[in-house]
Amino acid sequence: MHEPSDFPPGRPVVLRGGTVLPIDDARTVLSDTDVLVVDDRVAAVGRDLAVPEGTAEIDAAGGVVMPGMIDTHRHMWQTAMRGYGADWTLTQYFVWYYLEHGRHFRPADVHAGNTLAAVEALEAGVTTVVDWSHGLQTPEHADAAAEALRSVPGRHVLAYGNIQQAPAEWATAPEFRSFVERHRGGDLLDVQIAFDVTGDPEFPERPAFEAARDLGLAVTTHAGVWGATGDDGVRLMYEHGFMGPETVYVHAASLSRDSYQRIAATGGSVSVSTESEQSAGQGYPPTWALRAHGIPVSLSMDSSVWWSGDLFSAMRTTLGADRCREHMEAQRSGDTVTHSALRADQVVGWATRGGAAALNRDDLGRVAPGCKADLVLIRNDASPVSFPLLNPYGHVAFQAQRGDVHTVLVDGRVVKHEHRLVGVDLASVRRSVEGTVEHLRTAVGEQEWAAGMNPDIPESKVLDNPYTYTDYRDAGTHGR
C-alpha cells in the first residue's frame, strides 16, 4: 500500500509523456504530452513542461491521461450487498428494499456501504459520484452517509432521499433543512435532493419540490421507469413549473416523445444506466432518443447489488445498446446501417464532461489549465491489451478495464498509484461490510436471505417447431 507521505499535500505532480484526452469540443488527442498539477488545479498541459523543483513525476508514456469519470446516479448505501440481486427484476428489487427489508439498514450499514462504494469508485477511476441516497430513514442515517463520504478522498454529491416516507414529509422536516445547511456547498461534498414523481394527479410531491427550490437544491429523479414513473410525472413537473436545467432525470427509458420534448425544452439532462435498463426492465436504454431530441447525457451505474461499479462497463454497454437499436430499426425497414451514429469519443465525453455538465461544474470533466485536477492515467504495462494504442477514445471505451487504472488524482491529491490505492485501509472497510452482511442475514433470517438472492424461475414452454422431422426427446434412441 502506498502511503500518503509518498505524495504530501502541496507537492506538485506531473504526468509525463502520455496520450492526453482533454475532452474538448474538438475531441482532441494530444500525444507525448505532460500534465502539470499544482495544488488542486491543472496548471499546464503541453510537451516537455518545465516544472517546479520537487515535483513528483509519474511516467505516463504508453498510457492515456483523461479526466476523472463522473457517475451521476449510484445507490452507494447498497454496496455492502454487492452481487446479491444479480438475478432480480426491478419488481424484486422494489419488494426487497422498499417493502420488506430496506428498513433493517442501520446508520452503521449505510456508512459501511457508502465507504465501500466510495473506495471502489476511486479504484476504477471514478472521481465524482452522485450518491442517490434514498435509504436515509433518519437524520442519523443521513449523517452516517455524509461521514462515510467525507472519510474517502473522492468527490461526492449526496442526493438525499428516503424511500420509507413520502417526499412531502421528510423534505419539509426541520432535520432535513439542518442537514442541508451543515453539509451543502462543499467542494468535495455537496447536496442534492432525490425523490420520484408517481404521476398522482394530486401531485403530492409539490412540497418536496418547493423545499428544494427554497433551499436552492437540484432535484434528481427516477423518470421513465416502466410501471413506476412515467409521462404523467414529467407532465406534472412541467405544468407546475418544476423542470429546469439543474434537474437530472435518471433512466428516462420508457417516456413518450412529449416527455423528451419537455426535458429538452427546459434544459434538463438524463443519467443513463445502461446495464440497469437492459437488465432490470426500466425500458430500452434511451440514448438513441436523447440524441434525437438533443438532450444532454451522463452515465451512471445504479447499484452494485446487481451490476458492476465502473464506468468502463457503462461506456461499453451504452455503445452496444445504442448501436443495436440503430441496426434493429434499420433492418426492420429493410435498410442497412453503414456508419454508426454514436461514436466512442461521445460516450467517453458522457462519462466525464457529461457528468460535469449535469452537476453544473465546468471545472470538472476536462483536462485543461484551470480545471480541477481530477485525473486518471490508464496504463498497464503487464497487460497485452495495453498496446497498440491506435484509437485512444476507442481504447478507453472498448479495451480498458478498471485493472488498467494506474493513477488517480482527486483535487490534486494522488489517491491511487501504480494500481494501488493510497492511504486506504481496505481491511477496515472489509470488516465494516462483513458486520453489515452479518446483521442483515440475521435480521432477514437465513432462509429468507438465501431465497432473496435466488428468485423463482418462471416456467417456460418449448415452442412447436414445424421443421422438426424427428422427436428430439427420443433422439437418444435413434442412430444406435
Considering the domain architecture, whether residues 136 and 236 belong to the same structural domain is answered as: yes
Considering the domain architecture, whether residues 395 and 310 belong to the same structural domain is answered as: no
Considering the domain architecture, whether residues 344 and 388 belong to the same structural domain is answered as: no
* Residue 476 lies inside a defined structural domain of this protein: no
Considering the domain architecture, whether residues 315 and 410 belong to the same structural domain is answered as: no
Q: Tell me what pLDDT residue 242 has.
A: 98
* Residue 451 lies inside a defined structural domain of this protein: no
Residue 267 φ then ψ, to 5°: 80, 15
Max CA pair span of the chain = 83
Considering the domain architecture, whether residues 299 and 399 belong to the same structural domain is answered as: no
Closest CA to 306 of 269, 270, 281: 281
* Residue 7 lies inside a defined structural domain of this protein: no
- Give the structural domain span for 189: 69-359
* Residue 442 lies inside a defined structural domain of this protein: no
Polymer length in residues for the chain: 480
Considering the domain architecture, whether residues 297 and 369 belong to the same structural domain is answered as: no
Considering the domain architecture, whether residues 352 and 375 belong to the same structural domain is answered as: no
Considering the domain architecture, whether residues 179 and 46 belong to the same structural domain is answered as: no
Considering the domain architecture, whether residues 319 and 378 belong to the same structural domain is answered as: no
Model pTM score: 0.95
Considering the domain architecture, whether residues 103 and 201 belong to the same structural domain is answered as: yes
Q: Tell me what pLDDT residue 340 has.
A: 96
* Residue 86 lies inside a defined structural domain of this protein: yes
Q: Tell me what pLDDT residue 427 has.
A: 97
Considering the domain architecture, whether residues 184 and 288 belong to the same structural domain is answered as: yes
Residue 68 φ then ψ, to 5°: -60, 145
**26 Cβ neighbours under 8 A, 6+ residues apart:** none
Positions of the chain with pLDDT lower than 70, given as ranges: 1-5, 468-480
By the 8 A CB rule, do 238 and 262 touch?
Answer: yes
Q: Tell me what pLDDT residue 1 has.
A: 43
Q: Distances from the Cα of 115 to the Cαs of 120, 254, 402, in angstroms?
A: 9, 33, 18
Q: Tell me what pLDDT residue 199 has.
A: 97
Our count of domains for the chain comes to 2
Considering the domain architecture, whether residues 61 and 83 belong to the same structural domain is answered as: no
